[in-house]
């Protein structure tokens, strides 16, 4: 009976000792965390190395790509052909300074074809009134074996003030490999049936056919009106393809009759405007003027009163028949002049 408690005490002591030893030998969480830090550091270093490598590869690719793009842009050369040819259209003096060819131009974002032909232009207005031109309607680029090409971009003043000169350009879409020397510029509205004018960039060219021609005259007409006599002196006849900023219709020309009128009498004489009594006879028919600057009334004892009467008639007329209508009775008196 006395040994049982002793055995029990021994067993309890051994169990307690084993339990204490187990607790002492069990690794705590702090030791595990200490062993993970080296691995985390290694992974962090590897990640930084990978990020640096990817960044370097990306930078190298972008750098090489920019060099390639720059090289390609440098290879996009612009070809220039010197033209220096002038034509008269709608009372404007229009000069094609040069033509340029390129796949694109940095100041023209409108790309309608494989390449662009740019015409560098100079326009002068030597008249006394502003003149407006819609180049989208009247300008066409002529390329061999192709339909006329309308401009896609216009950097040229649409209105030119009196005595002013402006510079600019017209851009036309063309096929790759287009040769500038084979091109021509056509001016004139087909919608309005205007006389078309053409400037070839190379080869024979005669701009004289489109310029104004002045034919001096010496005809004097004695015109009686209500018992008074007026002296009409025909000073000259201008033959033109344009007048007052307007281009003539196809197949016609403007004929400008320049007059000087004297009224030697002592009373004012009012025959009316030139629209009322002066005609151009064409194939037996009387044509009314399209413009007139003669006054309605000629003051008494006045001399050298200038004015013009303008007609549109078939191109190339060499003999003009001018009619003065009798205003108080039916009839007219015809006069002929040669150009």
How many CA atoms are closer than 13 Å to the CA of 109, on its beta-carbon side? Answer: 0
Sequence-ordered alpha helix ranges (H) in 83-230: 135-138
Could you tell me how far CA 15 lies from the centroid of its own chain? Answer: 107
Residue 29, pLDDT > 60, answer no
Question: The sheet that has 139-142: what strands, in order across it?
Answer: 139-142, 184-187, 197-200
- The mean pLDDT of 37-63, rounded to a whole number, is 61
Residue 28, pLDDT > 50, answer no
- Percent of the chain predicted with pLDDT > 90: 71
- The mean pLDDT of 171-192, rounded to a whole number, is 95
- The mean pLDDT of 208-226, rounded to a whole number, is 94
67's tokens: 């060099």
Chain segment 106-125, per-residue pLDDT in tens: 887 777 778 999 999 999 99
Residue 38's pLDDT band (boundaries 50, 70, 90)? low
Higher-confidence residue: 220 or 22?
220
Chain segment 229-271, per-residue pLDDT in tens: 999 999 999 999 999 999 999 999 999 999 999 999 999 999 9
Residue 23's pLDDT band (boundaries 50, 70, 90)? very low
Domain span(s) for CATH 2.60.40.4170 in the chain:
79-209, 213-338
Residue 22's pLDDT band (boundaries 50, 70, 90)? very low
Sequence-ordered alpha helix ranges (H) in the chain: 3-25, 29-75, 135-138, 274-277
Q: List the end-to-end C-alpha distance of the chain, in Å, as a whole number.
A: 166
User: 334: part of which helix (H) or strand (E)?
Assistant: strand 332-338
Nearest to 260 by CA among 229, 219, 289: 219
Q: Residue 276, Cβ neighbours under 10 Å: how many?
A: 15
Report pLDDT for 74.
38
Task: Break the chain down into helix, strand, coil percent, rounded to 5.
Answer: 25, 45, 30
Q: What is the rounded CA–CA span in Å between residue 191 and residue 189?
A: 5
Report pLDDT for 224.
94
Report pLDDT for 34.
57
CATH class entry, domain 79-209: mainly beta
Chain segment 41-50, per-residue pLDDT in tens: 666 667 666 6
**Cα torsion at 320, 326, 332, 337 (round to 10°)?**
-20
123's tokens: 């326009």
Could you tell me how far CA 294 lies from the centroid of its own chain? Answer: 38
CATH: 2.60.40.10, 3.40.50.1390, 2.60.40.4170, 3.40.980.10. Which one for 213-338? 2.60.40.4170
Report pLDDT for 58.
55
DSSP characters for 88-147? EETTEEEEEEEEEEES-BTTB----SSEEEEEEEEEEE-SSS-EE--HHHHEEEE-TTS-
Residue 17, pLDDT > 50, answer no
- Percent of the chain predicted with pLDDT > 70: 78
Q: What is the rounded CA–CA span in Å between residue 331 and residue 317?
A: 25
- The mean pLDDT of 202-214, rounded to a whole number, is 90
Residue 183's pLDDT band (boundaries 50, 70, 90)? very high
- Tell me the sheet residues that pair with 239: 213, 255
Question: The sheet that has 332-338: what strands, in order across it?
Answer: 285-287, 278-282, 319-325, 332-338
Report pLDDT for 60.
54
- The mean pLDDT of 75-82, rounded to a whole number, is 82
Nearest to 242 by CA among 99, 138, 121: 138
Report pLDDT for 101.
95
Could you tell me how far CA 217 lies from the centroid of its own chain? Answer: 41
Report pLDDT for 207.
85
Chain segment 148-181, per-residue pLDDT in tens: 999 999 999 999 999 999 999 999 999 999 999 9
């Amino acid at each position: 009976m006395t040994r049982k408690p002793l055995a029990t005490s021994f067993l309890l002591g051994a169990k307690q000792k084993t339990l204490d030893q187990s607790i002492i030998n069990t690794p705590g969480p702090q030791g595990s965390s200490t062993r993970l830090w080296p691995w985390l550091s290694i992974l962090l270093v590897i990640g930084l190395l990978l990020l640096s490598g990817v960044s370097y590869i990306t930078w190298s690719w972008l750098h090489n790509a920019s060099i390639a793009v720059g090289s390609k842009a440098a290879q996009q050369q612009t070809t220039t052909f010197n033209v220096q040819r002038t034509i008269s259209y709608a009372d404007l003096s229009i000069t094609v300074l040069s033509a340029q060819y390129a796949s694109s131009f940095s100041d023209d974002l409108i790309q309608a074809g494989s390449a662009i032909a740019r015409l560098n232009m100079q326009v002068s207005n030597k008249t006394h009134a502003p003149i407006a031109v819609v180049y989208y309607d009247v300008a066409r680029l002529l390329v061999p074996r192709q339909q006329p090409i309308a401009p896609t971009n216009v950097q040229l003043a649409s209105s030119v003030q009196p005595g002013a000169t402006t510079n600019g350009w017209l851009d036309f879409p063309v096929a790759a490999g287009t040769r500038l020397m084979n091109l021509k510029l056509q001016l004139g509205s087909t919608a309005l049936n205007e006389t078309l004018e053409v400037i070839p960039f190379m080869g024979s060219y005669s701009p004289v056919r489109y310029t104004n021609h002045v034919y001096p005259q010496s005809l004097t007409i004695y015109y009686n009106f209500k018992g008074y006599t007026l002296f009409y002196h025909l000073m000259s006849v201008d033959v033109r393809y344009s007048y007052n900023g307007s281009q003539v219709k196809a197949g016609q020309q403007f004929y400008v009759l320049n007059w000087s009128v004297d009224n030697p009498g002592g009373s004012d004489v009012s025959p009316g405007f030139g629209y009322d009594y002066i005609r151009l006879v064409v194939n037996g028919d009387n044509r009314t003027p399209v413009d007139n600057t003669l006054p309605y009334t000629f003051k008494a004892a006045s001399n050298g009163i200038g004015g013009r009467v303008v007609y549109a008639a078939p191109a190339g007329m060499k003999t003009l028949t001018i009619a003065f209508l009798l205003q108080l009775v039916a009839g007219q008196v015809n006069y002929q002049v040669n150009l």
